[in-house]
Structure 1
Amino acid sequence: MVQAGRLGRSWWMAFLPVLLLGCGGSNDGTFVARDTVAIRGVVEDGTPTSPVANARCRASGLDGRTLHTANADGNGVFVLLVDPGVDGFIACAPPNQSALELRAFFSTDGQPVGGELPDQVILPETTVIARLVAQEFSDDPGIDPLARQAALREAVARDPDLQLLTEAATLLFNGVRGGDNADFEALFMDLVDDSVLDAASFESRAEAINEALAEREAELGRTLEQAFLARFPPFNLSVLHHSGAVGALIDAGPDRADFGGIARFATVVEDTRFASGTFGSSILLSAGDQISPGRLLQPSLDRQGRFFDGEAMSRLGYAALGLGPRDLALGPVVLADFLSAFSPPVPLLTSTLDVSGEQNVLAPILNERLPPIRIVEVGARRIGLVSAVRPDLARVSSPRRLAVVQAEELIQIVQGQVDALRAGGARVVILLSQQADLDAERALAAALEHVDVMVAAGGDSLLAGPEDLLVPGDEPLVAGAYPQWVTDAAGREVPLVSTAGRYRYLGRLDARLDPLGRLLDIDELNSGPIRVADASLADGVIPDPDLQADLIDPFLEAIEDLATQEAADIQVQLNATAASLTSVETNFGNLLADTVLALARSQAQAFGTVNPGVAVVPAESVIADAMIPVDSLSRSEVFDLVDPEVLVTLVPTVTATALKRLLEFALAAGGGAEFLQLAGLRLEWDPAGTAQVLDEEGEVVTPGTRVRELRLSGGGVLVEAGEVRENASAVAIATTDRTARRVLGQPAFGGTPVNLGLSLPQALDRYLIEALQRRVRANDFPEGGSERITRLGD
């Protein structure tokens, strides 16, 4: 007899999708190993012509791992060899229809080595009952599943609901047997929905199935849906979620050392799963922006083969990840390295992304780690997962040759993926979405049907109630109650949830659903953001000790190592003060512009674009506001000089007229964040000239006359005496993504920009080390500048 206590919480994993990468062995039924138990049985279709000849059978454990496979003989008889003391499932499918599996629970508990477990029968009836028992056990681990399976089989003859369910399964199995390969669970739930088999691939067989079912429903006085609702239990689903981790593995950042950090976050996840009793009915999801350019990512980029963020997150048991702009800020190669660090693999959903353009880079991880959608089993119920990333991804990230679904197609594509999940048997669909802001998230939810929960990450918005504990300073981020309710395209109310990033909150949505996955209510008392705080605070926790020792402590050491690694020997004082950078040429501005030009050239071919001829870098890109002394500059200090969120970008085919228009904007105020440092250009400007004026739409109202001369460093003249040369050549410009996106209100000045997968500090780090060979010399960057920008009248 199986002891329920011994099964513990692992029963819920019994119906997890099995990835058949291999198995524990195979057998033709004629040889029985002496160190195993022989499970003998027969697979039948439940009709007088019963045997399923030559069925492919397998035994799997409760963790989904295949233990043994064997082919049944012509009479449906099989032998499977399993170790003693194992609980699991036997699954058998007809030849050439591997997804049309029939199942039953088994246990070799108490069987001796070399013993036998005879008389196992696998039927459509046992498949329905095994699913029912799995769901009951998920909700009540105290039951004995083997005894419950036997009791339900015995009760079929006198229970009209069980009769209809098991007879419908038998009718369905035999009706589709010999046809296309289709998932039996999905087909059965399709039939349960409305007593009609809608699967297009079985259109020619569906009429007979539907008619026979309707006749039996009339005889028993109930529909299949009514029988399902009567026998299968409702269930509780705890959606645990977060977004915007952005690589903040240690803590939530400056002045927030007592909050966040993935080791504390792991403890909160574990405590929430177990203390609340949600282990068998919880799912952990991230809506995107798992990594981000900056100092905290550099150790993973330096230590080839070890990606700290991926290794740390793989300890937490995610069901899936969404995609955010920061995940692709450094391009598909870095994203692939991050995902490859997960063991076991965790998929990042690409529902609105065409990955075919990056086949060479992504091929090793494509199938396991970058699926468009995913179905998982939680509490023996199928949960569908789908994602949606903002259509303007290429504007704010570096997808390279990854194609993003555009705005006009977004709803259609996501709805198609949702429908595919429903067709695959998912009773609950969760959308992981990363749109521009919370309003865009609401609009997407309102345009879709059959999405049951939306986990949103747009705008790093925090949803919380008045009683929820917040990280100090987060109060202005609260954008409404948790959850928000959105009316979808079918008129249903859909809960939308969101939390702020950097591992400082775990979101928890406790939903109660009927047996068909329809939302009944939300447990508002237990739902909401859970603050991740240090143990010194009343609600705090101790960091997960294994995660801390194995990954976070080595990560801290790697961060400290950056401070001991020299980026460059600074042999001339560099002017990085805001007062100078926003009004005049400086030698640090020249260094930064040269960096952007050189690194853009190194990346252009890989990103399928042209080589830039010049570079323009706005003063806002520099965060140091300091004189950099003659001294050794560490690699860690590089990240204190320039904005880590800024990307190197290329704008192809900028006309001389458009370039003059951009420079007039930079000079209109006489100085400011928009002032540009230059590479590959020489500019003369007159502060006495007319300042450019733009309207609210960024259109030029007054052209401006401050740019007097503009020449390429190679000698070509673009502007002379304030006028654009008639035959002046167009140029490709290296700049920052913020400039290309016109964040400061710049006028339009070029074609479609291409982000090149480099953050500004990463580019500067590489330029100092690789191009300048760790020496910044006075001859190259004199203190007074290199006469790239001349202010007339001084």
Structure 2
Amino acid sequence: MRKFAALSIITTLISAQLLAVNLANTANAAEPRTPITLTLLHNNDGESSLLADSIYKTKSGDLPVGGAAAFAAVFDREIASARAAENAVLSVYAGDSFLPSKNIICSEPAVANSTKSVLDAVAQAKMPYDAHILGNHEFDYGTSFLSRYIKAFGTAGKAKHPFLSGNLDFKANSDLKGMVGKTTLTKGAIAKGKVLGSSYIHIDPVTKHRFGVVTAVTWSLRTISSPGTVKLTSTDLATTAKAVQKQIDTLQKSGINKIILVSHLQSVTNDKELVALLKGVDIAVAGGGDELLQNPALEDANELIPGESAPVGEYPTMLADMRGDEVPLVTTSGNYKYLGRVDVNFDEKGNVEAINPLTSYPRRVVPAGTVATAAGVTDAVVPSPAITNLVETPLKTCLAGFTAAIASSEVVFNTDRGSATVLGVRTAETNGGNLVADAFAYSYNQRAEKAGLPKPSTAKPLVAIQNGGGIRQNPAIALPVDGKAGVITRGNTFDLLPFDNTLVAVVDVSAADMKSIFERSCSISTSGGGQFLQISGMKVVCLRAGTAQIVGTPAGSAKSGAITTDGSRVKSITLNDGRALVKDGAVVTGAPSVTIVTNNFTADGGDNYPTLAALKKFAFGISYEASLYEYIRSFPVNAAGLPTIPASDLRYQKLTGEARFIWE
């Protein structure tokens, strides 16, 4: 079993051989066979948080943190430090490099042939990344915008910058197939624009040492985003491990003996399980979970942002691979608040000898200022002037149009994500979820007749659903965003409902279909899931003790798989007029069919809803964000002339809603 030293923190055959020879010619040339320390710099889940945000409360005031310009300054500082120590350097972005939000709307992601600058790409291209690993959010606007985002690196002078995913096949996708390069991309040998690959050989320009990067994205990609005709070549943990191991074996055959896994699997739990199935990985970098890890050998005051929440584990977290060898795993909290740095000592044969405990920890990103000084932050930085001018200034100009009040609320809406211990939109009913679902019903009623859709009636009852995963928490977990009664801006509604989703009507939905749909919604664990539905027009009761519905992995380009276990958690579904669709766990004979209004992602089977995917649906011309906007604008105005949601509205008085949904 491989252990770290005391310094550690206590094919066809012929084609495979030809590939190995070709890689070896590149990989082995003139590499020093000497010990080397690698400074691995990493981050994940930046998610378009390009501006510093004062979300941390200190005794000295609200502390600005993050922002692309300050992050770039920390990045440059750490590379200079590593080079001063004569270390090799590798820097990677572990996915979710942008996110639907008001920030990215300024880049017009949903506008075909837009000439607007892709500000996330402009910022990242100005930073010294060596490779980007694709996450799920890169596909949220489809592959057309992803293509535009990647091409923007070329416009910024990085037409040979690699974008990697070891379990995606882009060859059938018209937007991306022209960017596909070699399976293994090698620094210095990437053809212009041919930047999509599976793995990567990094040749450090100073020390000439070589490092291999192997990659994977979550096997749930098709159910949580919109990759279109991009093929996901793994369907579960086991097949993902097989895809990654193939990359490792290929690199090793070519002479690469220092290998880093960089993945975007949604949580470090998945990465731990993956590493246990692999052999040959020296370091693992996780993305997608937004988890904060901490080096226990250092004082909090020197490592974490003042007021930071408790870390969820140690930096690095030590894992065991399938041979029992130790593998350090690192990740960081997202939104450009931290840059991870781990310094790993390799011997002349490429074996990991040690991790430096004094230099391996997440670097906080705090712009210099009076609050930072007063809070005792000694490592605050002056933000990058280039990114300030090219990104932050135009973004702030664009966002100025989102700051005007459009409505007011006398109640606070819970829009938190939720967890096993916190009520949120992915775990249970909230008044914020009710507000969104009610907005959908309102917009349908305004447009149904003109769109030729069934007018809500006793014969054609209307209900509305919204998946919890489509309600976002960037940057706040409440509406109004400061957690108290007050104004709501258009920026707030875009932050809450940022995806390029439109409303659709799903017609003639039977009671049996409704039961199947809510079996999927109620299949979540106590920790919650993005498929959990916020509702309007009905009441639903589910049983924790019932059998959860199980749905298989989608095949091909489908967003949903096949139901393999029907589930028995749905106890009852009752329309607002009192008519039952499901009673005591059984579909009611003669129950009416209903019209469901929801977003197109869910209607098309996103979040693994095969029953919805199979039903007829019709668009009626409004985005899900615009629906919320017009609904809250429909309330009576207050003395200041703003439409106002009153405290007297019984639907929204409680954060827990009005018992539209009940867990038993």
Report TM bin, short chain: 0.5 to 0.7
Change in 2 beyond 3 A, CA 1:340/1:583: closer
User: Displacement of 1:375 after TM fit?
Assistant: 1.3
Q: Does 1:354 align with 2:169?
A: yes
- Taking the TM superposition and a 5 Å limit, the aligned residue runs for 1:261-410 are 261-276=67-82, 277=84, 281-301=88-108, 304-342=115-153, 343=156, 344-345=158-159, 346-358=161-173, 360-367=174-181, 368-378=194-204, 379-404=207-232, 405-407=234-236, 408-410=238-240
Q: Does 1:552 align with 2:392?
A: yes
SS of residue matched to 1:443: helix
List alignment gaps of at least 5 residues for structure 1. 1-175, 193-227, 602-612, 627-631, 668-672, 678-682, 712-716, 786-790
| Amino acid aligned to 1:398 | S
The CA distance in 1 between the partners of 2:432 and 2:254, in whole Å, is 58
Change in 2 beyond 3 A, CA 1:279/1:645: farther
Change in 2 beyond 3 A, CA 1:710/1:656: farther
Change in 2 beyond 3 A, CA 1:530/1:705: closer
Larger radius of gyration: 1
The CA distance in 1 between the partners of 2:346 and 2:338, in whole Å, is 25
| Amino acid aligned to 2:115 | Q
Change in 2 beyond 3 A, CA 1:732/1:508: same
Conserved 8 A contact 1:596-1:735: no
2:294 to 439, 454, 464: 464
SS of residue matched to 2:294: coil
User: Displacement of 1:702 after TM fit?
Assistant: 7.1
1:507 to 334, 340, 348: 340
Conserved 8 A contact 1:710-1:719: no
User: Displacement of 1:397 after TM fit?
Assistant: 2.0
SS of residue matched to 1:560: helix
- Taking the TM superposition and a 5 Å limit, the aligned residue runs for 1:391-540 are 391-404=219-232, 405-407=234-236, 408-466=238-296, 467=298, 468-476=302-310, 478-536=311-369, 537-540=377-380
1:258 to 38, 50, 64: 64
Change in 2 beyond 3 A, CA 1:636/1:538: same
SS of residue matched to 1:324: coil
| Amino acid aligned to 1:374 | Y
SS of residue matched to 2:329: strand
**What does the per-residue CA deviation read over 1:172-204, in whole Å, with 9 as the maximum and x for residues that have no partner?**
xxxx9xx969757715978x9xxxxxxxxxxxx
**What does the per-residue CA deviation read over 1:732-765, in whole Å, with 9 as the maximum and x for residues that have no partner?**
873487899999xxx98825699x9x9x996424
The CA distance in 2 between the partners of 1:633 and 1:624, in whole Å, is 7
User: Displacement of 1:549 after TM fit?
Assistant: 1.8
| Amino acid aligned to 1:695 | A
SS of residue matched to 1:471: coil
Matching residue of 2:381:
541
Q: Does 1:706 align with 2:554?
A: no
The CA distance in 1 between the partners of 2:26 and 2:146, in whole Å, is 38
| Amino acid aligned to 1:764 | E
How many pairs align?
A: 516
Conserved 8 A contact 2:225-2:606: no
Matching residue of 1:590:
441
The CA distance in 1 between the partners of 2:119 and 2:593, in whole Å, is 47
SS of residue matched to 1:356: coil
The CA distance in 2 between the partners of 1:289 and 1:469, in whole Å, is 24
The CA distance in 2 between the partners of 1:353 and 1:281, in whole Å, is 29
The CA distance in 2 between the partners of 1:530 and 1:730, in whole Å, is 53
TM-score computed with the length of structure 1 as normaliser: 0.55
Q: Does 1:764 align with 2:625?
A: yes
Matching residue of 1:617:
465
Conserved 8 A contact 2:517-2:612: no
User: Displacement of 1:252 after TM fit?
Assistant: 4.6
Conserved 8 A contact 1:616-1:676: yes
Alignment root-mean-square deviation, CA: 5.2
Change in 2 beyond 3 A, CA 1:471/1:403: same
**What does the per-residue CA deviation read over 1:660-690, in whole Å, with 9 as the maximum and x for residues that have no partner?**
57679999xxxxx96523xxxxx6x6x8xx9
Conserved 8 A contact 1:240-1:508: yes
| Amino acid aligned to 2:144 | V
- Taking the TM superposition and a 5 Å limit, the aligned residue runs for 1:235-250 are 235-250=36-51
The CA distance in 1 between the partners of 2:19 and 2:512, in whole Å, is 62
**What does the per-residue CA deviation read over 1:516-563, in whole Å, with 9 as the maximum and x for residues that have no partner?**
322121122111111111223321110011221222212221221344
Among all aligned residue pairs of Structure 1 and Structure 2, give the percentage whose two residues are the same amino acid.
Answer: 23
Q: Which moved more, 1:439-448 or 1:530-539?
A: 530-539
Conserved 8 A contact 1:252-1:504: no
The CA distance in 1 between the partners of 2:447 and 2:287, in whole Å, is 31
Conserved 8 A contact 2:75-2:339: yes
SS of residue matched to 1:414: helix
User: Displacement of 1:475 after TM fit?
Assistant: 3.5
Conserved 8 A contact 1:639-1:761: no
Change in 2 beyond 3 A, CA 1:278/1:558: farther
The CA distance in 2 between the partners of 1:581 and 1:483, in whole Å, is 37
User: Displacement of 1:463 after TM fit?
Assistant: 1.7
**What does the per-residue CA deviation read over 1:45-68, in whole Å, with 9 as the maximum and x for residues that have no partner?**
xxxxxxxxxxxxxxxxxxxxxxxx
Matching residue of 2:529:
none
Change in 2 beyond 3 A, CA 1:735/1:188: closer
Conserved 8 A contact 1:509-1:522: yes
Matching residue of 1:234:
35
User: Displacement of 1:237 after TM fit?
Assistant: 1.2
User: Displacement of 1:652 after TM fit?
Assistant: 11
Conserved 8 A contact 1:242-1:506: yes
| Amino acid aligned to 1:239 | L
**What does the per-residue CA deviation read over 1:377-435, in whole Å, with 9 as the maximum and x for residues that have no partner?**
01212221121111112222222222222113111111111222223332322111122
The CA distance in 1 between the partners of 2:48 and 2:68, in whole Å, is 9
List alignment gaps of at least 5 residues for structure 2. 1-13, 57-61, 182-193, 370-376, 415-429, 453-460, 473-477, 482-486, 523-531, 549-566, 637-642, 650-658, 660-664
User: Displacement of 1:590 after TM fit?
Assistant: 2.6
Change in 2 beyond 3 A, CA 1:485/1:692: closer
- Taking the TM superposition and a 5 Å limit, the aligned residue runs for 1:639-718 are 639=494, 642-644=496-498, 655-659=510-514, 676-677=535-536, 693=543, 695-698=545-548, 699-700=567-568, 703-704=571-572, 706-707=574-575
SS of residue matched to 1:472: coil
User: Displacement of 1:708 after TM fit?
Assistant: 7.9
TM-score computed with the length of structure 2 as normaliser: 0.64
Conserved 8 A contact 2:502-2:600: yes
Change in 2 beyond 3 A, CA 1:594/1:489: farther
The CA distance in 2 between the partners of 1:482 and 1:577, in whole Å, is 35
- Taking the TM superposition and a 5 Å limit, the aligned residue runs for 1:17-166 are none
Q: Which has the higher helix share?
A: 1
**What does the per-residue CA deviation read over 1:56-96, in whole Å, with 9 as the maximum and x for residues that have no partner?**
xxxxxxxxxxxxxxxxxxxxxxxxxxxxxxxxxxxxxxxxx
User: Displacement of 1:329 after TM fit?
Assistant: 2.2
The CA distance in 1 between the partners of 2:436 and 2:304, in whole Å, is 45
The CA distance in 2 between the partners of 1:307 and 1:479, in whole Å, is 33
Conserved 8 A contact 2:210-2:256: yes
Higher relative contact order structure (alpha carbons within 8 Å, sequence separation ≥ 6): 2
User: Displacement of 1:719 after TM fit?
Assistant: 9.6
**What does the per-residue CA deviation read over 1:345-395, in whole Å, with 9 as the maximum and x for residues that have no partner?**
32221211122342x111343332321112120121222112111111222
Change in 2 beyond 3 A, CA 1:658/1:282: same
User: Displacement of 1:691 after TM fit?
Assistant: 5.6
